[in-house]
Structure 1
Amino acid sequence: MTTSIGWNLENSYTTLPDTFFTRYKPTPVRSPQLVIFNESLASTLGLNAQVLQSEEGISVGAGNSIPEGAEPLAQAYAGHQFGHLNKLGDGRALLLGEQITPTGERFDIQLKGSGRTPYSRGGDGRASLGPMLREYIISEAMYALGIPTTRSLAVVSTGESVVRETALPGAVLTRVAASHIRVGTFQYAAHLGTVEDLKALADYTLKRHYPEILDDENRYLSLLKEVMKRQASLIAKWQLVGFIHGVMNTDNMTISGETIDYGPCAFMDTYDPATVFSSIDREGRYAYGNQPPIAAWNLARFAETLLPLLHENQEQAVEIAQSTIEEFPNLYYANWLPGMKAKLGLFTEEDEDKALIDDLLNLMQKHKADYTNTFLALTFDTVKETVFSGVPEFMDWYKRWQARLGKQEESKESAHELMKNHNPAVIPRNHRVEEALEAAINGDFTVMHRLLDVLSKPFAHVPDQTEYCKLPVDSNRPYRTYCGT
């Protein structure tokens, strides 16, 4: 039925014990229509973009038909949600299968908002258009910024309403991921399965994501270390662009090292480590400045699940896990510091670098400076156009920075290029995202397409991006995001 689309699906996840999933089919919708489609991603996946946008492809994206080779299933997992462990699972998502690309890569193809599953926990299994478009915008912006992320292939409207506070237009998102294996998947195995289940999951994960360490003497310890490395790199990349995930529960941390689940996420305007956007994060657990330590906490939970595999002696297993997890702050710092130095045009290492960076961040917080635009102003020497114009303590810092640049052999032109390549001209600013979503829900998709085009080239530094660098109009109401996705 759908061979012309180019589906090349496998279902390796079904080789795991049945406890990890339930085979289930999506619930058909009344009147599916394609809202937005990612042609470049379709090409990468080896799919026929033209046919995917036809009635045949839209039917698959809505869950009304199943592509050839697919074995739809809902994945089971657990998760610490704001510190409390719960049994979870795909409550409104189904994995169709794994697309094998022309280059041999493997990607999960998942429908999000495709109806109730055995893990819906009283929910309707549906999603509304706004949050699905939001995930499309933010995930594609993250991809353009060079940050590992799940991606969005398409959003299809359903012709049906979903009821939240009010009736909203329904939609289904097709999400693409290296896999949907989470820390919470391992917690599910450790708390609700057997040691054999846990070992099967660990071995599957190794084969799928870390085949190079399969033959290590203690491959499960190597798995823990490799996941830590990827998460240290990922969280550093978040911090460097001012991204706030908003809900860093263990079920939202992937073993592959990709960013997943763009619910109450947002990008920071004014620099403040205490910044929180999520309406449900009342204590600031997942504030911008807390993301690195929360990542370490989540990884400690991952290490706990691996204890039976790390060593047959419980005490020795705990000791191995603890000594390994203790290295995370150093791993994170080893990613964050070079990234910050690149944002300031620094190629070499000097003892003063950390203090130089910290002092700038402190000045930004004190003077309520915009995070992204401050680094842009330093890149293009337009500080006079910022809140720092004429501020004596900032000018003192600026002189120190110039002196530090003078200590390296690289030219100022080289430093400028380094900064251009590490300081994005544009981010998906919250007011721009909301503007695009409001227009789209009212039937005008031109605003979103313009935004997506600008966000696709964040390091271009071209004139048509200038308008998108502007800050929102001051408001007495703090920006809030919600767990709509």
Structure 2
Amino acid sequence: MTFHFPFDNSYAALPETFFARVAPTPVPAPRLIKLNRPLAAQLGLDADWLASPEGAAVLAGAQLPDGAASIAMAYAGHQFGQFVPQLGDGRAILLGEVIDKDGVRRDIQLKGSGRTPFSRMGDGRAGLGPVLREYIVSEAMAALGVPTTRSLAAVLTGEQVIRDPIQPGAVLTRVASSHIRVGTFQFFAARGDRDAVQALADHVIARHYPEAAQAEAPYLALLEGVIARQAELIARWMMLGFIHGVMNTDNCSIAGETIDYGPCAFMDRFDPKTVYSSIDQMGRYAYGNQPPIALWNLTRLAECLVPLLAADDDKGVEIAQTALGGFAEHFNSAYLARLAAKLGLSTVQADDPQLCQDFMAAMARGRADFTLAFRRLSDAAADPSDLCAVQALFADPAGFDEWAVRWQQRIAAEPLKSVDRQAAMRAVNPVYIPRNHLVEAVIRAAVDRDDFAPFDELLAVTANPFRELPEFERYAQPPQPHEEVLQTFCGT
């Protein structure tokens, strides 16, 4: 029986230069690892059928559902600052688009489904480790309230992929508002194809920024909308200690979602210079560099849109520069508002920005655990004796002690009762994140022993990141020295 996906494909209706029509490469023995049943229901899909052997075959790319677009999208991109005019989906196939139960259009994509015309001599496959990492981290980000691609399913293919080391092959079914990137615009702009840039911009406006269509200058409104969403997204990353690891322009979503979880990681000890990615030798995408890199990426988008902003290029550049100048205000506003909430401040006073930044500086000097410092501070919001638990996280407690006195004086001026302030802080300061050493332990159990119980448990814990449960205490703890994972890898 052929399963029906309620496809309503729009990207595949664009000109053929936007993609390549290609079928997934068949695999020998599809085996379902995990199905995201709540997400399947949200997409209007039959979870029971997807969990069947026939469903696993579709999720592995061994069989195409009726109406599938089956395309690999074309895009370019700056990789570590160097422009590559053609990248594209080298190991991913867009099955198609569905309208979910909230009326939102969503892409369904197979990642690791074999070679495409954009594979650039790669095998087009994905190893089990990176698939599990993306599944865990993307679903954790969703639970943390961060705009993100989602993971619908993970499937073993029954074959081995050549990586270091060799590991089982797998396919991730990824769901996104779309897979359109800054690099998608760059692909056409680099070719001088103004008509294609305009067609893509019109498609993005209709799909992601419909309000821009009513603006006096729709393409400027589009640029401003993307800038605002990216600023908000990066502020959310920063407030969780999240490091994307490879913020190339081809990994920068026009929809404002976190996309392409490669060498990503959450920090343990706080240091703005933290880098995990094994390929980021110069620290270009370090934690503290993420806001300026986001602006750099947005500048590349603005360059593509200049011909649409004004008939005269000089005027178009001027308009683009003005729009880009708004990034700092958007980011700083979102960043400080979220940081203030994490510190229990519900009203605004003139000295609040300095108080907030001083806490971050004290954490950096004291190399305090990022997640636990905020979470334990939430406890202290109701009981000052709990400040000892926060202080214990700091290698240099004197800096924290001085700050804590000012913080207590400040929250005393807040209208909320201490118990209500504590509840508000706990709602924005998670206790559970997918820490590197936990993710690595899950991957090792699956790859080395075909044991997916740790994977299932970590998913369950991080699905409820703000609710502390005694039986999961170990998931809240930072790694011991011998458990630390200091490098993460792309998996390609």
CA deviations on 1:18-42 (whole Å, 9 max, x unpaired) are 1110100001001111111111111
Superposed CA offset, 1:233-286 (max 9, x none): 100000001000000000001010110000000000000000000001011000
- Of 410, 420, 431, 2:437 maps to 431
Cα distance in 2 for residues equivalent to 1:387 and 1:452: 26
Cα distance in 2, alignment partners of residues 383 and 23 from structure 1:
59
Instruction: Check conservation: 1:384, 1:390, Cα contact below 8 A.
Output: no
State the alpha-carbon separation in 1 of the partners of residues 149 and 17 from structure 2.
25
**Counterpart residue number, 1:306:** 305
Question: Alignment partner for residue 37 of structure 1, among 23, 35, 39?
Answer: 35
| Paired-residue identity, % | 53
The separation in 2 between residues aligned to 1:396 and 1:71, in whole angstroms, is: 60
Q: Deviations over 1:313-368 (max 9, x none)?
A: 11110000011101101110110101000001001111111111121111111111
| Distance in 1 between residues matched to 2:394 and 2:50, nearest whole Å | 51
Please give the secondary structure, in 2, of the residue aligned with 1:270.
coil
The corresponding residue for 1:63 is 61
**Which residue of structure 2 aligns with residue 393 of structure 1?**
399
Pairing of 1:63-462 with structure 2 (within 5 A): 63-86=61-84, 87-192=86-191, 194-381=193-380, 382-385=386-389, 386-388=392-394, 391-441=397-447, 442-462=449-469
TM-score by length of 1: 0.97
Q: Which runs of 5+ in 1 are unaligned?
A: none
Task: Quote the offset at 1:477 in angstroms.
Answer: 7.2
Report which stretch shifted further, 157-166 or 278-287. Answer: 157-166
* Distance change (3 Å), C-alpha of 1:197 and 1:361: same
- The whole-number CA distance in structure 2 between the counterparts of 1:227 and 1:407 is 37
Matched, 1:473 2:483: no
SS at match of 2:413: coil
What's the secondary structure of 1:255's corresponding residue?
coil
Looking at structure 1, the residues matched to 242 and 278 of structure 2 have their Cα atoms a distance apart, in angstroms, of 16
Distance in 1 of aligned mates of 2:399 and 2:77: 46
SS at match of 2:239: helix
Letter in 2 for 1:57: G
**What is the DSSP-based 3-state SS (H/G/I as helix, E as strand, rest coil) of the residue aligned with 2:155?**
strand
What is the CA–CA distance in structure 2 between the aligned matches of 1:58 and 1:309, rounded to whole Å? 44
Q: Does the C-alpha gap of structure 1 residues 295 and 26 become closer, same or farther in structure 2, counting only changes over 3 Å? A: same
For the 8 Å contact 1:8–1:101, the answer to whether it is kept is no
Query: Which range moved further: 158-167 or 114-123?
Result: 158-167
Mean Cα displacement is larger for which, 163-172 or 83-92?
163-172
1:71-120 deviations in Å (ceiling 9; x for gaps): 20000000000001102000000001101224432110100111100000
User: What SS does the corresponding residue of 2:281 show, helix, strand or coil?
Assistant: coil
In structure 1, distance between residues paired with 2:215 and 2:24: 40
Q: Offset at 1:217?
A: 1.1
Alpha-carbon distance between aligned partners in 2 of 1:261 and 1:152, rounded to the nearest angstrom: 11
Listed one character per residue, the Cα deviations across residues 145-177 of structure 1 (whole Å, up to 9, x for unaligned) are: 000000111111111111123321101111000
- Write the distance in 2 (CA, Å) between the matches of 1:462 and 1:431: 20
Aligned twin of 1:27: 25
Q: After TM superposition, give the deviation of residue 479 of structure 1 in Å.
A: 0.9
What does the per-residue CA deviation read over 1:458-477, in whole Å, with 9 as the maximum and x for residues that have no partner? 11123233221111111497
Classify 1:110/1:390 alpha carbon distance in 2 versus 1 (closer, same or farther; 3 Å): closer
Deviation of 1:2 (Å) = 2.8
Shift of 1:193: 5.0
| Partner Cα distance (1:374, 1:477) in 2 | 18
Residue type matched to 1:175 in 2?
R
User: Which whole-Å deviations, capped at 9, do the CAs of 1:403-459 have from their partners, x for residues lacking one?
Assistant: 111122222222211111110011101101111111112211111111111100011
Alpha-carbon distance change, 390 to 323 in structure 1, aligned in 2, over 3 angstroms? closer
Distance 2:219 2:248 in 1: 23
CA distance in 2 between counterparts of 1:7 and 1:356 reads 52
Counterpart secondary structure, 1:170: strand
SS in 2 for 1:362: helix
- Is residue 108–residue 177 contact of structure 1 (8 Å, CA) maintained in 2? yes
> What is residue 383 of structure 2 aligned with on the other side?
none
Match of 1:2 in 2: 2
Distance 1:299 1:390 in 2: 38
Q: Which amino acid aligns with 1:2?
A: T
Question: Is the partner of 2:321 in helix, strand or coil?
Answer: helix
Q: How much is the aligned-residue C-alpha RMSD, in angstroms?
A: 1.4
Task: Look up the SS of the partner of 2:65 in the other structure.
Answer: coil
